[in-house]
Homo-oligomer: A and B are copies of this chain.
Amino acid sequence: MITRDDCLALDAADPLARFRDAFELPDGAIYLDGNSLGRLPKAVKPRLDRLIEQEWGRDLITSWNVHDWIGLPARVGDKIAQLVGAAPGSVVSADSTSVNLFKVLAAALALRPGRSVILSDTGNFPNDLYVAQGLIQTLGGRHELRLVEPDDVAGAIDERVAVVMLTQVDYRSGRVHDMAELTRRAHGADAIALWDLCHSAGAIPVDLEGANADLAVGCGYKYLNGGPGAPAFLYVAPRLQDAVKPPLSGWMGHEAPFAFDLDYRPAAGIGRNLCGTPPVLGMAALDAALDVMLAADMAELRAKSMRLGDLFIDLVEQECGAFGFTLYSPRQAEARGSQVSIRHEHGYAAMAALIARGVIGDFRAPDMMRFGFTPLYLGYADIWDAVAVLRQIMETRAWDRPEFHRRAAVT
């Protein structure tokens, strides 16, 4: 039997507790949706104040040099690289995850001209499949997207596969793919291994170099806390960087952007994967947010994240065992990212009722209640309190009230 005092004791012994103060927590809400949009780090506001008032407002165009706006994509990329096991100079921040995925997926197909299959799984975030479908159509329909169940990926890699495109952590269940093993299998068939790290970066230890991954993309606004629609990132293994032909060949990826030659010549290295002018406001916010995450120890983050998830599952069993929830996520913490999903026939309305009472998770059709655990700003007692509210809602059948059937929060 777990008590609230047990949770308070865990909080008192938590080596990451000090990070809570690095975030704005104005509302008393228990925010279990950092996997959709991370909380606001306190460092962001002063950084944007300075950026707007001094850099844009006063120094204007000279800030591209004086404040090194032009170097932001590489600088932010190098910070992210530390979180995903990548070497300096192998990650840049740019565009959205979708646009970056298009870039590296097109590059992957160009690296395997004799092959026609993009292999992915049905647990991938649908957006990634959409991007692949759009690319295939743009290329004239000579390729196909082969979708298998997540457990069947390894067996589906054959000599027709150009690229294995997977999201490491399932956006619904949190199930973690074995990046090293699946990359090894891909390489065994001479296929490219492309990883989407949207639900991994900042959530679990990622080792792109150790896994020998080829290409990767990821998101800035989830566990990296970069703010709504923050710039995303992409990774190209150093051994492939000069072979990659950017489909989105914009001036920021040119060898000499300000020479204004009429012909595109890709920059050496990772920089060629930049395209248009970088979104400075969003990228500065992400830059400031990353400093918070980089000050924490990833092993401690992972350990606490697993404990928070286990605690949630244990408490749902203990407090809400009578209400018919089923666990959709892996029971073993090692097999999960930093989130837990449970299913219930009234999941949609129950989630709306939770949100109305300040416990913020989200919902994924048809019946999944999804809860993200962000060790930087969540404590163990928060989990206790969240489950207590869930129990109340279930006991009072809050979903019988019509206002809880309106549209819940998105993304």
Interface residues of A (CB under 8 A from B): 24, 26-27, 29, 31, 33, 36-37, 39-40, 44-45, 48-49, 52-53, 55-58, 60-65, 69-70, 95-99, 102, 106, 110, 122, 126-127, 129-131, 133-135, 137-140, 147, 221, 227-232, 245-252, 254, 258-264, 275-283, 285, 355, 360, 362, 364-365, 407, 409-411
Contact = CB atoms under 8 A, between A and B. Distances in A.
B281 A96 contact: no
A288 B137 CA distance: 37
A135 to B, nearest CB: 7
A122 to B, nearest CB: 7
B278 A229 contact: yes
B282 A355 contact: no
A60 B52 CA distance: 22
A80 B189 CA distance: 50
A259 B410 CA distance: 11
Contact of A229 (B27, B102, B281, B410): B281
A354 to B, nearest CB: 12
A285 B69 CA distance: 17
A264 B99 contact: no
A127 B251 contact: yes
Nearest to A94: B96
A23 to B, nearest CB: 9
Given A130-B254, A229-B279, A260-B126, A362 B248 contact: no
A139 B139 contact: yes
Contact of A133 (B26, B53, B98, B249): B249
Contact of A97 (B53, B98, B130, B276): B276
Contact of A48 (B29, B48, B137, B138): B48
A277 B410 contact: no
Given A228-B281, A260-B365, 13 more contacts: A39-B60, A45-B49, A45-B52, A98-B252, A99-B250, A102-B248, A126-B262, A127-B250, A129-B264, A138-B138, A221-B277, A229-B281, A229-B282
21 contacts: A24-B53, A26-B58, A55-B228, A61-B410, A63-B228, A64-B409, A65-B407, A95-B96, A98-B275, A98-B276, A99-B99, A99-B275, A130-B264, A134-B249, A134-B264, A137-B245, A137-B247, A138-B245, A140-B140, A229-B283, A279-B279
B130 A247 contact: no
Q: Which 10 A-B pairs have the closest CB atoms?
A: A96-B276, A134-B249, A98-B250, A98-B276, A228-B280, A130-B264, A127-B251, A138-B247, A40-B57, A229-B279
Contacts of A247: 102, 134-135, 137-138
A37 B228 CA distance: 23
A408 B259 CA distance: 13
A264 B135 CA distance: 11
A408 to B, nearest CB: 9
Nearest to A277: B229
Nearest to A254: B130
A278 B387 CA distance: 33
